[in-house]
Amino acid sequence: MERILSGMRPTGRLHIGHLSVLENWRRLQEEYSCFFFVADWHALTTSFDETGGLRANTLEMVADWLAVGLDPEKSVIFKQSDVKEHAELHLIFSMITPLSWLERVPTYKDQVQQFQERGKDIMMYGFLGYPLLQAADILMYRADAVPVGEDQLPHLELCREVGRRFNHMYTPIFPDPKGLLSKVSLLPGIDSRKMSKSYANDIGIFCQPGELKKMINSMITDPARIKKDDPGHPEVCVVHKYHKIYRPDELPGLEEQCRGGGIGCVACKKMLQETLDGILKPLREKRMEIIARPGYVEEVLLEGASRARKAASETMALVREAVKI
């Protein structure tokens, strides 16, 4: 069975923008041998001065994963920092990777600029090298494939280049992992900007009905529409973007009613609230079952780390023999 690796940073509660990613992981675990990890070392590359919530965020996020359907019997679920071999392989890769390879990663300069605009300097050795740590994460488990979005393909190509360089310099150990391009639904925040906790415009996967109603009622709709029966322009409405994803079969009729003034924004938002609550309610209930079991999430991570270390130690034995250390 082919092997897959993917991970997430524990930066806070997950929002519905993450839901399509987790649903994809849930499907993949039925077809592949999956390793899913909490990328807590990666979180340090931009949040090195805000580490107080890392442990709590890790447990919260893994509880979210389990509630959405990741199964520790089918997938290896672990925390990156619990498998020290990741750091060792990263160090070895850093000895053979030209600096120019890291500097040409497209997201490097973009993210540095974004954080500078917020008044934060992230031009640290760790941030420059985080794509190399990603390469170590992937190649440690000799993954055959990695689920990625198109914006992550340059990182995966760097991973392949590093693996090929190692194989050429020493001994062929690492495969050429392919990218599994996943169709992830890109949801805007309630204010039409990118959904992000830092913008306070996100809808949590496990938010309660009252909170969900409040968030949806705050969504930006057609600013030119004053009265309920005024003709609408759905293409500028945030609610419409959600209907495109969650009510695709009804979309033509909804658009026609909106343009003709046959349905008001309040009614449209109520439909969306009912749809989302129907999706999120069973996930909330499952999560409550999980957190009602004291120590369960920690047990999942301990067992996952044990299984991950076994695979990692096999790889590192081959690497040390190849490098002669």
Count of CB atoms within 10 A of residue 112's CB? 16
Task: Tell which residue, 273, 200, 197, 188, has the closest CA to residue 237.
Answer: 188
Q: How far apart are CA 92 and CA 214, in angstroms?
A: 51
Q: What letter represents residue 232's amino acid?
A: G
pLDDT for res 109: 76
Are 199 and 215 a contacting pair, CB within 8 Å? no
Are 110 and 68 a contacting pair, CB within 8 Å? no
The SS3 of residue 3 is strand
Count of CB atoms within 10 A of residue 102's CB? 17
| Lookup result for tokens 């990777």 | 97
Q: What letter represents residue 222's amino acid?
A: D
pLDDT for res 67: 96
Task: Tell which residue, 291, 320, 307, 323, has the closest CA to residue 83.
Answer: 307
Count of CB atoms within 10 A of residue 51's CB? 11
| H/E element, 180 | strand 178-181
Q: How far apart are CA 278 and CA 189, in angstroms?
A: 20
Q: What is the pTM of this model?
A: 0.91
Q: What is the set of domains in the chain, with CATH numbers?
A: 3-187+295-323 (3.40.50.620), 206-287 (1.10.240.10)
pLDDT for res 166: 98
pLDDT for res 184: 65
Predicted confidence pLDDT, tens digits, the chain (325 residues): 899 999 999 977 799 989 989 999 999 999 999 999 999 999 998 889 889 999 999 999 999 999 999 999 999 999 999 999 999 999 999 999 999 999 888 877 778 888 888 888 888 898 889 999 999 999 999 999 999 887 788 889 999 999 999 999 999 999 999 999 877 667 889 998 888 877 789 999 999 999 999 999 999 888 888 787 888 888 889 999 999 988 888 888 988 888 888 888 888 999 999 999 999 999 999 999 999 999 999 999 999 999 999 999 999 999 999 999 9
Task: Tell which residue, 55, 112, 152, 90, has the closest CA to residue 316.
Answer: 90
Q: How far apart are CA 229 and CA 197, in angstroms?
A: 34
Q: How far apart are CA 37 and CA 309, in angstroms?
A: 12
Rg of the chain over all Cα atoms, to the nearest angstrom: 22
